Amino acid sequence: MTSKTWWKNAVGYQVYPRSFKDSNGDGIGDIRGIIEKLPYLKDLGIDFIWINPIYKSPNVDNGYDISDYESIEPEFGDLNEFKELLQKAHKIGIKVILDLVVNHTSDQHPWFIESKKGKNNPYRDYYLWADASPDKMPNDWKSFSGHSAWTYDKKSGQAYFHVFAAEQPDLNWKNPKVRKAIYKMIRWWLDLEIDGFRMDAISHIQKEPWDFKIKDNPWAPFMNVKGIDKYMSELRDIFNEYSVMTVGEASGVTSRKAINWTDPKRDGYINMIFELEQNVQEGQLGEQRIDPLGFKKVLARWQRDLADGGWNALYVENHDNPRINTVLGNETAQSAKAIAATYMLLCGTPFVYQGQELGMTNYPFTKPEQMDGLNTKKRFEEIIKQGHDPKEAMKIMSHWSRDNARTPMQWSSEINAGFSKGDPWLAINDNYKKINVEKELQDSHSILNFYKKLIALRKNESAFTDGDFELILDNDPNVFAYLRKNSEQEYLVISNLSDGKRTVTLPRKVVQNVWRTKLTNDNTLKISKNMTLQPYAVTVMEKIN
């Protein structure tokens, strides 16, 4: 592993700063809080952290609407504190990557404030404007909110384009001045010696011509559209000057195309991609689950399609999704452990989202006021109008909500779970007395201690970094099983991702070998031709001889 590819043998940890640790009692997590918890992260065994946006922001979308790229949001601290964090993290061997949000800015960014002033303003073309009238937008494209992707501006008789909220106008990447300014900003951060970027919504920076006709996918006009290669190549050339890692949130880049995005031999743009396909849902609205077979098939396909030189980013949680131990697990330690070993030993760089290592669960929201999402009240009323009672409406609205992942980190059984001495910005889950860092550190069988062992295993055994991946029991609806093998080692991972007992028939190539248990949540598990797995049992085995 050269120093340029350090991330191939690394485990990442995602910090959602607002909910990680509040150091000054205002109820909002901050940079000083992250500094405080560096020893915890070191002890967990991770190699780098990805911090969600900490730039100046009006917080319409919690930091994903940036009004100044080169300053820190005061709620989180200031630039000196960030430099201190960087220096202290580096000192103990933890690298730091930041979110790079360049598809759009805030509508409060000085560029947009200028741009909005009129057609002749020098910043007009920093954004995407087109002629419109109050009842006729330039085209019928929808934003991710499901409403028009355009917002009308009476003064100029034009509308501006946004794939997210109206307060997040899209930048015009065709404009060389925009690209120049963005690249300068990127270098400014890289020169501070940060270790890379998670690139937000990066596959949307190129758009189809406004007269493009949508056939089936409403978001096709801005998902990995032709011409994006020019911008991505320019970005790659900057990243290549520095030894940094890059991971792109790149919806619309299929597993087939992803190899061209991530393989250096193919002039790939970035190191790895967060694919968004793996969350295959089943079940009714308000009680959806992740379908284990769908989950397995998507992940296995990405493993295969990237095998020849690409690279995966592995995750099961982030700040946009519900808690995995609720929607794939059954909120037990057994299921949290089974899920962890299943995804973390695949080929790629694993990310752990804060609290995932404790088995944190979804929050039982009962009132729209408890939620932070955009327009929750309005949505609640809409669902009621459709004929649901308030309880059902809350379930429908909250079950898959990203707020589940955003409730504060549970550090201890003290007040506010040890997150803050003040009033937390989002409610703390009632189960914090059972599920928290302090408690789990003391219990050798805890989820947290399982994660520690798993992270160490993942990093110490080379087959998990560079070994081949081979799926077995391909079509079993509940059991996820695979082999990882390089010239020196062979490992078998087998897990039951359901809450029922399952019996599988293992192939000869597995049964004929002798295996030794390396990590498990069920010590009675043994390899045999017909093997029965208890609910959410998992075992990681090493081949001996």
> Judged by CB, which is closer to ligand GLC: 63, or 77?
63
Alpha helices in 211-273 (DSSP H): 228-241, 255-262
- Contacts for 31-34: CB closer than 8 Å, 24+ residues apart: 31/72, 31/76, 31/77, 31/81, 31/82, 31/84, 31/85, 32/77, 32/81, 34/85
CB atoms within 10 A of CB 166: 17
Query: Residue 249 is encoded by which pair of tokens?
Result: 């949130």
The entry of ligand GLC, Ca ion, none that residue 383 binds, CB within 5 to 8 Å by partner kind: none
What are the E-state strand segments in 310-462?
313-314, 349-353
**Footprint (CB under 5 A) of Ca ion, residues 155-214:** none
The entry of ligand GLC, Ca ion, none that residue 476 binds, CB within 5 to 8 Å by partner kind: none
Helix axes 390-398, 376-385, angle to 10 degrees: 130
For Ca ion, the binding residue among 26, 36, 84, 466 (CB under 5 A) is: 26
Q: What is the closest distance, in whole angstroms, from the C-beta atom of residue 293 to ligand GLC in the complex? A: 26
Q: What is the closest distance, in whole angstroms, from the C-beta atom of residue 311 to ligand GLC in the complex? A: 20
The entry of Ca ion, ligand GLC, none that residue 30 binds, CB within 5 to 8 Å by partner kind: Ca ion
| Cα distances (Å, whole numbers) of residue 408 to 91, 203, 370, 411, 442 | 27, 30, 13, 9, 21
The entry of Ca ion, ligand GLC, none that residue 440 binds, CB within 5 to 8 Å by partner kind: none
Query: Is 36 an interacting residue with respect to Ca ion (CB under 5 A)?
Result: no
User: Would you give the binding string for ligand GLC spanning residues 92-131, x where CB under 6 A is met?
Assistant: ---------x------------------------------
| Cα distances (Å, whole numbers) of residue 418 to 22, 33, 422 | 9, 11, 10
Q: What is the closest distance, in whole angstroms, from the C-beta atom of residue 487 to ligand GLC in the complex? A: 38
Strand-pair partners of 515: 543
| Cα distances (Å, whole numbers) of residue 432 to 136, 408, 410, 544 | 51, 10, 6, 42
Cα(520)–Cα(474) distance, rounded to whole angstroms?
A: 22
The entry of ligand GLC, Ca ion, none that residue 24 binds, CB within 5 to 8 Å by partner kind: Ca ion
> Judged by CB, which is closer to ligand GLC: 249, or 461?
249
Q: What is the closest distance, in whole angstroms, from the C-beta atom of residue 377 to ligand GLC in the complex? A: 19
Query: Is 54 an interacting residue with respect to Ca ion (CB under 5 A)?
Result: no
Query: Is 201 an interacting residue with respect to ligand GLC (CB under 6 A)?
Result: yes
User: In terms of Cα–Cα distance, which of 43, 53, 41 is closest to 13?
Assistant: 41
CB atoms within 10 A of CB 244: 22
User: Would you give the binding string for ligand GLC spanning residues 346-375, x where CB under 6 A is met?
Assistant: ------------------------------
The entry of Ca ion, ligand GLC, none that residue 406 binds, CB within 5 to 8 Å by partner kind: none
> Judged by CB, which is closer to ligand GLC: 37, or 319?
319
β 245-249/196-199 pair status? parallel
For ligand GLC, the binding residue among 81, 107, 249, 275 (CB under 6 A) is: 249
> Judged by CB, which is closer to ligand GLC: 73, or 200?
200
Query: Is 24 an interacting residue with respect to Ca ion (CB under 5 A)?
Result: yes
> Which residue do the tokens 């649901």 mark?
388
**Footprint (CB under 6 A) of ligand GLC, residues 390-449:** none
> Judged by CB, which is closer to Ca ion: 417, or 504?
417
For residue 416, give every residue at least 6 positions away whose Cβ sits within 8 Å of its Cβ, in sequence order, or none. 408, 422, 424, 428
> Judged by CB, which is closer to Ca ion: 29, or 292?
29
| DSSP conformational letter for 102 | -
> Which residue do the tokens 């200031």 mark?
78
Cα(51)–Cα(37) distance, rounded to whole angstroms?
A: 13
Q: What is the closest distance, in whole angstroms, from the C-beta atom of residue 165 to ligand GLC in the complex? A: 8
> Residues 147, 356: contact at Cβ < 8 Å?
no
Q: What is the closest distance, in whole angstroms, from the C-beta atom of residue 61 to ligand GLC in the complex? A: 5
Query: Is 30 an interacting residue with respect to Ca ion (CB under 5 A)?
Result: yes
User: Would you give the binding string for ligand GLC spanning residues 154-173, x where CB under 6 A is met?
Assistant: ----------x---------
Query: Is 15 an interacting residue with respect to ligand GLC (CB under 6 A)?
Result: no
Cα(461)–Cα(491) distance, rounded to whole angstroms?
A: 9
Gyration radius of the chain's alpha carbons: 24
**Footprint (CB under 6 A) of ligand GLC, residues 287-326:** 319-320
> Judged by CB, which is closer to ligand GLC: 102, or 437?
102
Query: Is 28 an interacting residue with respect to Ca ion (CB under 5 A)?
Result: yes
User: In terms of Cα–Cα distance, which of 292, 317, 328 is closest to 479?
Assistant: 292
Cα(537)–Cα(535) distance, rounded to whole angstroms?
A: 6
Near Ca ion by CB under 5 A, which window of 27-35, 55-63, 131-139, 455-463?
27-35
Query: Is 22 an interacting residue with respect to Ca ion (CB under 5 A)?
Result: yes
> Judged by CB, which is closer to ligand GLC: 399, or 484?
399
| DSSP conformational letter for 199 | E
CB atoms within 10 A of CB 112: 22
| Cα distances (Å, whole numbers) of residue 460 to 14, 115, 155, 454 | 21, 53, 62, 10
Near Ca ion by CB under 5 A, which window of 15-23, 160-168, 261-269, 522-530?
15-23
> Judged by CB, which is closer to Ca ion: 75, or 99?
75
Give me the residue whose beta carbon is nearest to ligand GLC.
Answer: 64
For ligand GLC, the binding residue among 16, 48, 50, 64 (CB under 6 A) is: 64
Near Ca ion by CB under 5 A, which window of 29-37, 96-104, 125-133, 506-514?
29-37
> So which residues are the catalytic ones?
200, 249
Collapsed DSSP state (helix, strand, coil) of residue 424: coil
> Judged by CB, which is closer to ligand GLC: 64, or 302?
64
Q: What is the closest distance, in whole angstroms, from the C-beta atom of residue 380 to ligand GLC in the complex? A: 20
Query: Is 200 an interacting residue with respect to ligand GLC (CB under 6 A)?
Result: yes
Output phi, psi for 529, to 5 deg. -55, -50
Residues that bind ligand GLC (CB under 6 A): 61, 64, 101, 164, 200-201, 249, 319-320
